[in-house]
């Protein structure tokens, strides 16, 4: 049975697509056949982050409208075996996704894949609700910032009332992923700490991804940051994947790293 | 940062703790609304309609809130009556 995991946040621009690409790649690296679906109709960019934008021929909406079959639309990742991408459509019609259509596609993917990662659009309206409706688990991506935490709480409310699981009397398993974390600013009491956010949201912590230059570099190149083993963000995503698979891994990169004299002199970067 | 600034800063609350306090209040408020029973919005409308039979009020002059505590729920009704001189 495939596991459906939605990556969601409410607030826009907090790192959902970065996370979907990283976690999807990470699961495939661990040997699970994985597909990442871009639910952001009209604003697709998962293909850019994954570096397969030039190979998009058909998309999610084409499959729903039966203009193409699933195998024609799925893009096989060139770097990571067992990883596939289902791109979003560029159509401006926001109602292009229908609940029945999404269900049919997910049912078909579930026959073939072990993990289905749904990259949600921003917001708490229809598009985001569609992306989370069929989920078994949810990764709630949050930045240590007031509006992001508030929106995460809202999306948690929707997961608990408007998902299929909730309607059937069950629960979607929730994970908190704190991203763009800056230990220096937390130490200066200028940024909410991990403990603060955990306190408010009361959701088990899947991981903390530090603010890192490696994320922009990765997106420039179209290679998910988890493949950059040198970077703290890449390592933090690897840890998060292990935790998603039930392993106990200690959290890293939460404290200010003391830079050595030479590194300070040369202006060491993360 | 001058020494003077340093001491000034100590007196103020850190911005992170202000953020946390604000969040705790917003989130508690929103969660409360979420856990309202299904009949609540309709009941709220009807309460307002009854009051309107006697006093001319706007929707936003009435706040009806349900607070869930551990062992009981409190229905809180707050009505701001219009200025008497306006009659
Ligand atoms: N850990 C990080 N460190 C630094 N920059 C980051 C980090 N995570 C994400 N970003 C940057 O934040 C921006 C938004 O990221 P991303 O596109 O993944 O967010 P999103 O939640 O998918 O946005 P949208 O709501 O528009 O779909 C990007 O420019 C990305 O490079
Ligand atoms: Mg996105």
pLDDT computed for residue A12 by the predictor: 96
B20 touches chain A (CB under 8 A): yes
Annotated binding-site residue? A165:
no
Chain A nearest C-alpha distance from B22 (Å): 8
Burial of B69 (0-12, 13-18, 19+ CB in 10 A): exposed
Query: Is the pLDDT assigned to residue A258 strictly greater than 80?
Result: no
Residues 6 or more apart whose Cβ sits within 8 Å of residue A219 = A18, A48, A49, A225
Cross-chain Cβ contact A190/B16 below 8 Å: yes
A15 Cβ closer than 6 Å to some ligand 1 atom: yes
The angle subtended at Cα A245 by Cα A241 and Cα A249, nearest 5°, is 65
Q: Mean pLDDT score of chain A, rounded to an integer?
A: 94
pTM of the predicted protein model: 0.86
By the 8 A CB rule, do A7 and A20 touch? yes
- Residue B44: how many other CB atoms lie within 10 Å: 18
What confidence category does residue A267 fall into, taking pLDDT thresholds of 50, 70 and 90?
A: low
Residue ranges covered by each domain of chain B: 38-81
pLDDT at A263 over 70: no
Could you give phi then psi for residue A139, rounded to 5 degrees? -100, 110
Say yes or no to pLDDT of B38 above 90: no
Q: Give the gap in angstroms from C-alpha B78 to the nearest C-alpha of chain A.
A: 26
Could you tell me the distance, in angstroms and rounded to a whole number, from the CA of residue B41 to the centre of ligand 2? 34
Mean pLDDT for the stretch of residues B38-59: 86
Q: Taking a C-beta distance cutoff of 8 angstroms, is the pair A52, A78 a contact?
A: yes
A159 vs B85, which has greater pLDDT?
Answer: A159
What is the rounded average pLDDT for all residues in chain B?
80
pLDDT tens across A61-114, in order? 999 999 999 999 999 999 999 999 999 988 777 778 899 999 999 999 999 999
- Domain positions in chain A are 3-245
- Rounded CA gap, A116 and A34, in Å? 6
Strand partners, A155: none
Q: Identify the closest residue of chain A to B22 by CA–CA distance.
A: A146
What does the pLDDT look like over A141-179, one tens digit per residue? 999 999 999 999 999 999 999 999 999 999 999 999 999
Ligand 1 site, residue A99, Cβ cutoff 6 A: no
CATH number listed for the domain at residues A3-245: 3.40.50.300
Is pLDDT above 70 for B10? no
Q: Has residue B2 got a pLDDT over 60? A: no
């Amino acid at each position: 049975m495939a596991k459906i995991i939605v990556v969601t946040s409410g607030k826009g621009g907090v790192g959902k697509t970065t996370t979907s690409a990283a976690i999807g790649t990470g699961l495939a690296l661990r040997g699970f056949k994985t597909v990442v679906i871009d639910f952001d109709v009209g604003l697709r960019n998962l293909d850019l982050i994954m570096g397969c934008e030039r190979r998009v021929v058909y998309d999610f909406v084409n499959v729903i409208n039966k203009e193409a079959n699933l195998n024609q639309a799925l893009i096989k990742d060139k770097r990571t075996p067992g990883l596939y991408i289902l791109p979003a459509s560029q159509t401006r019609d926001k109602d292009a996704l229908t609940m029945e259509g999404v269900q049919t596609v997910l049912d078909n993917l579930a026959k073939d894949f072990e993990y289905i990662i749904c990259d949600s659009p921003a917001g708490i309206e229809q598009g985001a609700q569609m992306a989370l409706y069929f989920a078994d688990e949810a990764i709630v991506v949050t930045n240590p910032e007031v509006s992001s935490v508030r929106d995460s709480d809202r999306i948690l409310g929707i997961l608990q009332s408007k998902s299929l699981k909730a309607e059937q009397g069950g629960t979607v398993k929730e994970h908190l992923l704190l991203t763009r974390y800056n230990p220096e600013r937390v130490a200066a009491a200028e940024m909410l700490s991990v403990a603060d956010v955990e306190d408010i949201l009361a959701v088990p912590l899947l991981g903390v991804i530090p603010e890192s230059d490696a994320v922009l570099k990765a997106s420039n190149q179209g290679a998910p940051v988890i493949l950059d083993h040198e970077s703290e963000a890449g390592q933090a995503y690897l840890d998060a994947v292990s935790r998603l698979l039930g392993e106990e891994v200690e959290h890293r990169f939460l404290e200010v790293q003391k830079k050595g004299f030479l590194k300070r002199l040369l202006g060491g970067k993360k | 940062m001058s020494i003077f600034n340093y001491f000034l800063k100590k007196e103020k609350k850190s911005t992170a703790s202000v953020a946390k306090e604000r969040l705790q209040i917003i989130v508690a408020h929103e969660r409360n609304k979420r856990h309202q029973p299904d009949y609540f919005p309709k009941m709220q409308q009807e309460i307002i309609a009854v009051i309107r039979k006697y006093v001319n009020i706007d929707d936003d002059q009435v706040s009806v809130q349900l607070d869930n505590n551990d062992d009981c729920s409190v229905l809180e009704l707050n009505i701001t009556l219009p200025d008497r001189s306006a009659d």
